[in-house]
């Protein structure tokens, strides 16, 4: 990882992902999590403030050490115990069927081998466990898709591998047969970056 990825990008991401527009959706998808929890793509720890008070511990993974520097500040202020690991979610060291809930917020867009990561998510999730996510991705409008395809090569450079044109529902459905997904444009964002998939996949 270069200087931009470890030193500049984490601060840019922390600023952009702190957008109040996103807070409502963080709170909604995290409202009912409980038990053993894994969060992939922990980033700078912005989800910590939205976990229910009953949650006492979560395990988190993120591949970027620069994100971890900022995340540690939030971890120290949180009442939740966090086992924070600098790991690639494409190959997790946890045992099969470890977690009750797995959380991903705006992460699947930037994982290089996203199919591997989703296979790992399925593996470490308990039977009956839930993978909850909110992600941006491929629009259902052909004209917007054209712009997403054009802009993705640039987006991957400036946002460390982020794809605007991934069909998140299709990717998750490759691993999970039981999946519910809501599609919508996030108000206040350009359509090319604001098409959202919010869902729950049950093992």
Question: What is the CATH superfamily name and number for domain 3-202?
Answer: Vaccinia Virus protein VP39 (3.40.50.150)
What does the pLDDT average to over 122-146?
Answer: 98
Q: Are strands 99-105 and 81-86 parallel, antiparallel or unpaired?
A: unpaired
Give the residue from 185, 183, 158 showing the smallest Cα distance to 170.
183
Confidence class of residue 174 from pLDDT cuts 50, 70 and 90? Answer: very high
**Can you tell me the distance from the alpha carbon of 38 to that of 133, in angstroms, rounded to the nearest whole number?**
12
pLDDT of 44 above 90? yes
**187/119 Cα distance (integer angstroms):** 32
Question: pLDDT at residue 1 above 80?
Answer: no
- The C-alpha angle 154, 47, 171, rounded to 5 degrees, equals 50
Instruction: Enter the pTM of the model.
Output: 0.95
Query: Residue 104: which residues within 8 A CB-CB, separation 6 or more?
Result: 39, 40, 41, 121, 131, 132, 133, 134, 135
Closest CA to 88 of 46, 59, 117, 123: 117
- Domain-by-domain residue ranges, the chain? 3-202
User: Of residues 180 and 4, which shows the higher confidence score?
Assistant: 180
Q: pLDDT grade, residue 39 (50/70/90)?
A: very high
CB-facing half-sphere around the CA of 186: CA atoms within 13 A: 22
């Amino acid at each position: 990882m270069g200087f931009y990825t470890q030193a500049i990008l984490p601060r840019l991401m922390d600023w952009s992902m702190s957008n109040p527009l996103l807070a409502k959706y963080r709170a909604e998808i995290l409202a009912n999590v409980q038990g053993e929890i894994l969060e992939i793509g922990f980033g700078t720890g912005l989800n910590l403030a939205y976990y229910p008070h009953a949650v006492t511990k979560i395990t988190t993974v993120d591949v970027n050490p620069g994100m971890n520097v900022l995340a540690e500040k939030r971890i120290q202020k949180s009442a939740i115990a966090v086992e924070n690991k600098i790991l690639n979610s494409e190959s997790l060291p946890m045992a099969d069927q470890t977690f009750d809930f797995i959380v991903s917020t705006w992460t699947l867009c930037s994982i290089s081998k996203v199919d591997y990561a989703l296979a790992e998510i399925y593996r470490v999730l308990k039977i009956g466990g839930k993978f909850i996510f909110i992600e941006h991705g491929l629009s259902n409008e052909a004209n917007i898709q054209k712009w997403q395809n054009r802009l993705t090569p640039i987006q991957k450079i400036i946002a460390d591998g982020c794809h605007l044109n991934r069909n998140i529902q299709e990717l998750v459905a490759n691993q999970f047969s039981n999946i519910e997904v809501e599609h919508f444009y996030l108000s206040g964002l350009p359509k090319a970056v604001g098409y959202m998939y919010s869902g729950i996949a049950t093992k």
